[in-house]
Amino acid sequence: MTYCVGLRLDHGLVFMSDTRTNAGVDNISTFRKMTSWEKPGERVVTLMTAGNLATTQAVISLLDERMKAAADRSSTIYEAPSMFQVARLVGQTLREVIADNVDSGMRGDTTFNATILLGGQIKGSEPRLFLIYPEGNFIEASADNPYFQIGETKYGRPILVRAFDPSMSFEQAVKLLLVSFDSTIKANLGVDLPLDLQVYSTDSFKLGNTSRIERTDPYFETISNGWGNALKLAFDSLPDFSFSDD
Amino acid sequence: MTYCVGLRLDHGLVFMSDTRTNAGVDNISTFRKMTSWEKPGERVVTLMTAGNLATTQAVISLLDERMKAAADRSSTIYEAPSMFQVARLVGQTLREVIADNVDSGMRGDTTFNATILLGGQIKGSEPRLFLIYPEGNFIEASADNPYFQIGETKYGRPILVRAFDPSMSFEQAVKLLLVSFDSTIKANLGVDLPLDLQVYSTDSFKLGNTSRIERTDPYFETISNGWGNALKLAFDSLPDFSFSDD
C-alpha cells in the first residue's frame, strides 16, 4: 500500500508521500514515490504514485525518456503548454503502460493499476493539482475539494476534513500532513516512514523545500507523541455522556 | 456499508452500531443491526452484524426460530453452556446461510458475506467478546486487543487506538464511540445515524442501558461540533514545522 497527499493552498502546493512498498507482509522495501521536474523560471511539475510499482516506475521512465529523445519534444512534460496538457500526457502514458501489461497476457495476483497525483505550475496559469485514474482520465482540485489523497486514504482523512484550511502556512500544512500520515502509519503496516516532502510556492517557478523525513526525525517524534497527548486532552475536554435511566 | 464497534472494558461491555444500509447510493434505508437476548440472572448476549442484509437477517431469524422450537433447545443461544459455544452456534448458522445462498446458484453484484460481533456473559465465566468471520470461525478480544470493529472501520480507528483505555467509565466509552462514529459519518455516506447503543455491566446478568441516538440528539451534536473545535485546538497546540533551508 501507499499513502500520498497533495494540498492546494492559497499560496502554493504541498506534496507528501510515504516510501513503503510491499508484496505481502513478508516482502517490503523502500521506494521513492515522488518525482519532480523543473525548468526554473517557467515550470515546476511534481508527481506522486500509488499502485503497482512496476507500472508506476515504467510511467516515470517513459516520461523521462521522451524528454531526452530529440523528436516530438512538444509532447513532453518540459514542453507541454499547460498543466492540463501535462495531466493528459501523464494519463495517456499511465493507460498505455497498464494496457501493455494486460494485452501481453500477463497475470498477477494484483492488478497492474496505479493512480497518480500531479501538481505544479506553468507560466501563464495558476498552480493546479490533478488526480489521475488508471483509465487515464483525471479530476482537478478546486475550492470545494482543495486536496487529494491516494492509496490508504481512510485513516488519515478525518483530520484533513477537520483541520485543513487553504490559508494555512506551509509550516502548518506540513504539521497537518504529518498528523495525517502518523494516524495512518499507526494503523496500517502498508504505509511507513521515511516520508518525502515537496513544497511549491506560487509564482516561484522553482522547486521549494524538498526533504525526506526519517523515522528518527525529532520533529516527527514530537508530532507523533504530542498528537496522542493532544488528542487525549481534546477528548477529555468534551463532556461525558450521561445515561438518562440505568 | 455499516459501522459497529464492541468494547471490552474492565467492568463490562459496550456495543454501538449504525443503522444505514444501502444498495448503491440511490437505495438507502434504516435497519437495526443490533440484537440482544437475555435470561435475567443467568445470561446476556448481544450481536451486531455487518454485510449482506439478507444474510444477517436470515441468521438472526434462524437463531430466534431455533430458540422457539421445542426440540434440540440445547444448541440455542438460551441454552448453550458458554459464550464460546454461543459463538460456535452463531458462526455455524452464519456459514450455513451463506453456503445456502451460494449453493442455490444465486448471483449478485455483491457477495452474500457478513461479519458478526458477538459479546455477552453467561454465569460461571467472564464477559467475552468475539469477532465472527463469514467462514464461521472467530477470534476473541483480549487485553492486547480489547475492542473489535466491523464494516467501515478505518476512519474511526485512529481515535480508538489513541484514546481507548479499558478502565474508562461507560460514560467515557460512549463519548469515545460517538467521536469514532462521527469521524466515520463525516467521511462516508455508507454509515449514518441513528446509532444503537447497548451497555452491559459485568456480573449484572441483565441488559444495561439500551438507547437509540438520533440525529437531533443534543449530546451527539455537542460531541460532533465540539470535537471539530477540540481537534483544531489540539492541532494548534503542537509546534509548527520549520524548514531548515528555503
> What residue has cell string 464511540?
B177
- Nine cell digits for residue B125: 465465566
- Taking the domains of chain A in order of start, what are their residue ranges? 3-236
Closest residue in B to A231 (Cα) is B234
Read off the pLDDT of each residue in B202-219 and give the average, rounded to a whole number.
Answer: 96
Beta carbons of A208 and A198 less than 8 angstroms apart: yes
CB atoms within 10 A of CB A61: 12
Could you report the per-residue pLDDT of B99-118, keeping only the tens digit for each? Answer: 988 777 666 545 789 999 99
Asked if B208 has any chain A CB less than 8 Å from its own CB, the reply is yes
Read off the pLDDT of each residue in B139-153 and give the average, rounded to a whole number.
Answer: 96
Asked if A210 has any chain B CB less than 8 Å from its own CB, the reply is no
Closest CA to B232 of A129, A202, A165, A154: A165
Distance from CA of A20 to the nearest CA of B (A): 19
Rounding to the nearest 10 degrees, give the CA dihedral for residues A1, A183, B224, B236.
-130
Distance from CA of A183 to the nearest CA of B (A): 6
Q: Pick from A163, A169, A219: which is nearest to B231 by CB?
A: A163
CB interface of A with B, residues 177-196, below 8 Å = 178-179, 183, 186-187
Q: What is the per-residue pLDDT for A182?
A: 96
- Nine cell digits for residue B82: 458458554
Read off the pLDDT of each residue in B195-212 and give the average, rounded to a whole number.
Answer: 97
Q: Output DSSP code: residue A240.
A: P
Crossing angle of helices B83-103/B53-68, nearest 10°? 120
The dotted CATH code for B3-237 is 3.60.20.10
pTM: 0.91
Architecture field, domain A3-236 = 4-Layer Sandwich (3.60)
Read off the pLDDT of each residue in B125-140 and give the average, rounded to a whole number.
Answer: 96
Q: Among residues of chain B, what percentage have pLDDT more than 90? A: 85
Q: What is the per-residue pLDDT for B246?
A: 46
Per-residue buried b or exposed e for B171-186, using 16+ beta carbons within 10 Å of the residue's own CB: ebbbbbbbbbbbbbbb
> What residue has cell string 475536554?
A237
Closest residue in B to A180 (Cα) is B158
DSSP-assigned beta bridge partners for residue A212: A196
CB atoms within 10 A of CB B66: 18
Question: With an 8 Å Cβ cutoff, are A234 and B233 in contact?
Answer: yes
Classify burial at B218, counting beta carbons within 10 Å of its beta carbon; exposed 0-12, middle 13-18, buried 19 or more: exposed
CB atoms within 10 A of CB B73: 12
Distance from CA of B23 to the nearest CA of A (A): 21
Residue type, A196: D
Whether the pLDDT of residue A70 is over 70: the answer is no
